[in-house]
Amino acid sequence: MEEIAPNVGPHIRAIREQRGLSLRALAERCHLSINAISLIERGENSPTVSSLHLLATALNVKITDFFENPHEQAVVYVKPEQRLATQSNGLLMESLGLGLRNQQLEPFMITIAPDTGADSEAITHPGQEFVHCLEGIVQYQVNKQTYQLEPGDSLLFDATQPHSFRNERDFPARLLLIFQAMEGTHLARQRHLEL
């Protein structure tokens, strides 16, 4: 699989500076090293999905804010080769649409390498989550109940319930993942997909 690593560093730096935070202050908030944040901001290191979540939580923004075009639109049209994406530790996360005025849905395509997942610790976040399995087989756990998702299977649940997922097979899996944040919050999905 070809790695797609957009330069989200300038967006992260811009948001940090808008918040009036130094690198040191942000590092203390998100528990990443100053050097790691600096490398990400300069585009010299592609952030992991986990790092993006830590940074988003520390900056009190949605993870999608790192990918967004500041010019919001009434219609967003994205061709596959235009998707903004980040990849780390066997997980490829591609945005399927960002920049809509008053956007409340955050659609992603998640490709999970064999024997990979976000299952080290169950995650919770505000809002709702929709998962649709496109390829492969994924074990998705919601509130201690495991669902085996095969192509065509879907889950819709309240994301305040602890949840995690894993591809235990020896072939990749692909999910359509859509988050919906509760109105007025900036915390939805920051902890999601941590590895």
Q: Are residues 39 and 105 in the same domain?
A: no
Same domain, 164 and 90: yes
Q: How far is it, in rounded angstroms, from Cα 93 to Cα 83?
A: 10
Residues 56 and 109 both lie in one domain: no
Average pLDDT over residues 125-149: 93
- Indicate whether 106 belongs to any domain: yes
Which CATH number fits the domain that encloses residue 107? 2.60.120.10
When pLDDT is cut at 50, 70 and 90, the band that residue 182 belongs to is low
Whether residues 91 and 59 share a domain: the answer is: no
The answer to whether residues 149 and 61 belong to one domain is no
**Phi, psi for 32 (deg, rounded to 5):** -110, 155
For 14, counting Cβ atoms within 10 Å of its Cβ (0-12 exposed, 13-18 middle, 19+ buried), the class is middle
Q: How many domains does the chain have?
A: 2
76 or 114: which leads in pLDDT? 114
71 assigned to some structural domain: no
Phi, psi angles (nearest 5°) of residue 105: -105, 140
What does each C-alpha distance from 60 to 65, 70, 94, 122, 126 come to in angstroms?
Answer: 10, 17, 21, 21, 13
Q: 91 and 171 share a domain?
A: yes
The band of 15, judged by pLDDT with boundaries at 50, 70 and 90, is confident
Q: Is 10 helix (H, G, I), strand (E, B) or coil?
A: helix
Q: Over the stretch 55-71, which tens digit does the pLDDT of each residue have?
A: 988 888 877 777 766 56
- Domain span at residue 30 reads 9-66
* Residue 37: CATH number of its domain: 1.10.260.40
